Amino acid sequence: MTTQIQMNAVTQPRQRGLTLILILGLISVGLLAPLVVYPVFLMKFLCFALFACAFNLMLGFVGMLSFGHAAFLATGGYITGYAMTHFGLTPELGVLVGTLASAILGFVFGKLSVKREGIYFAMVTLALAQLVFFFYLQADFTGGENGMQGIPRGELFGLIDLNDNLNMYYFVLAVFLLGFFVVYRTVHSPFGQVLKAIRENEPRAVSLGYSVGNYKLLAFVISAALAGMAGSTKALVFELESLTDAHWHMSGEVVLMTLLGGMGTLFGPVVGAAIVIAISTLFSGGELGNYIHIIMGAIFVMCVLSFRRGVVGEFQRVMARNFSASRVGK
């Protein structure tokens, strides 16, 4: 334990500096990307990256596998869609409303589930998400199988027309960065330290006097809200919200993204989302279209067998090995 603390003390400022440089580099890439790549593809990627980051907050930093995050993605989308269509809100307010709705749903889910652990927690969240799925399937306002069609993108602050793909892209990028910043701040705060403590050794965290349940609940609500924000933004991008987002496949897909990229790392979910979205887009048109799930499955098996920390996790390990500072720690 003492060596662990030493290592953290030595590497953390350095790591943080590196992370900051990396983030700034990625932001500039993000700003220039739509010149090269089709913006809608990028927007889809950013929405899923945010979704995966939100999910990773629970799985990677609290160590709890929620299998019901699709419910938050869909709730964000449907509520934003409804608000934009019927109340004529501006997009930033629409996203806010969707995010809030997901946060409230997250609070309800969390209240009912965080006292359970491991597989039981996963099953309770899955069951609740299925309830939500069937509600959206039957409810009139969602359009059922047809999906909620024709959600207007609207004008940002009543000024900037988001029907232009580039404008929309920068809006989505801003939303993503905001969400990513929230995750970053959460993880690098005393609150985040407690979450990690709970992940490493829950009984010890309890014995130190932390009310673990409340910490987990708050983390769950933040995660749900961010997932909702991703869903809201996605609904605006595609001007459509459908049951695909509420289906349990979606909850599985986000697990895949997070594990592929590297759970418990900041960038892992982003990389994971990039891989999954890129593969499904690449293959969707061609002859291999029917085999997407098999390809994904094979990649997942490979990941679990040979690089269990995920792409970013393994990368960090290799980097850490080559930094003398961390060697001292070991």
Partner 1 sequence: MKRNTNTPKAGFKLALHCSVAALMSVAALSAQAATGLSDNKVKIGVLADMSGTYGDLCGRHCVDAVNMAVEDFGGSVLGKPIEVVSADDQNKPDLGSAKAREWIESEGVDAINGLVASSVVGAVAQVANVNEKPILISGAGSNTFTTKTCSPFNAHWTYDVVALARGTVKPLMDSGKKKWFFITADYAFGHALEGVATGIIESNGGTVVGSARAPLGTTDYSSFVLQAMSSGADVVALANAGKDFVNSLKGAAEFGLNQQATMVGLLVFASDTKAIDADIIGDMRLTTGFYWDRDDASRAWAKRFVDRTGAIPTMAHAGAYSSTLHYLKAIKATGTDDGKAVMAQMKAEKPDDMFARNAALRADGRMVYDMYQVRVKKGSERSNPNDLYEIEHVIPGDQAFGAMKPECNFK
What is the phi/psi pair of residue 315, to 5°?
Answer: -60, -45
Q: CB-wise, 121 or 245, nearer to partner 1?
A: 245
Whole-number minimum distance, CB 137 to partner 1, in Å?
Answer: 8
What is the phi/psi pair of residue 148, to 5°?
Answer: -90, 110
Positive/negative CA dihedral, 122, 124, 130, 133: negative
Whole-number minimum distance, CB 78 to partner 1, in Å?
Answer: 13
Q: CB-wise, 146 or 211, nearer to partner 1?
A: 146
Q: How far apart are CA 236 and CA 172, in angstroms?
A: 9
Positive/negative CA dihedral, 293, 298, 303, 305: positive
Whole-number minimum distance, CB 181 to partner 1, in Å?
Answer: 17
Q: CB-wise, 44 or 216, nearer to partner 1?
A: 44
Counting DSSP H helices and E strands in the chain, the numbers are 14, 4
Q: CB-wise, 42 or 271, nearer to partner 1?
A: 42
Please give the single-letter amino acid code of residue 101. Answer: A
Q: CB-wise, 143 or 268, nearer to partner 1?
A: 143
Whole-number minimum distance, CB 231 to partner 1, in Å?
Answer: 12
Angle value at C-alpha 162, between 157 and 167, nearest 5 degrees: 100
Whole-number minimum distance, CB 232 to partner 1, in Å?
Answer: 15
Q: How far apart are CA 149 and CA 235, in angstroms?
A: 10
Q: CB-wise, 40 or 197, nearer to partner 1?
A: 40
Q: Which residues bind partner 1 (CB under 8 A)?
A: 24, 28, 31-32, 34-35, 38, 40-41, 44, 144-147, 149-150, 163-167, 238-242, 244-245, 284-285, 289-290
102 near 221, Cβ under 8 Å?
Answer: no
Whole-number minimum distance, CB 164 to partner 1, in Å?
Answer: 7
- Bridge partners (DSSP) of residue 156 are 160
Q: How far apart are CA 140 and CA 92, in angstroms?
A: 25
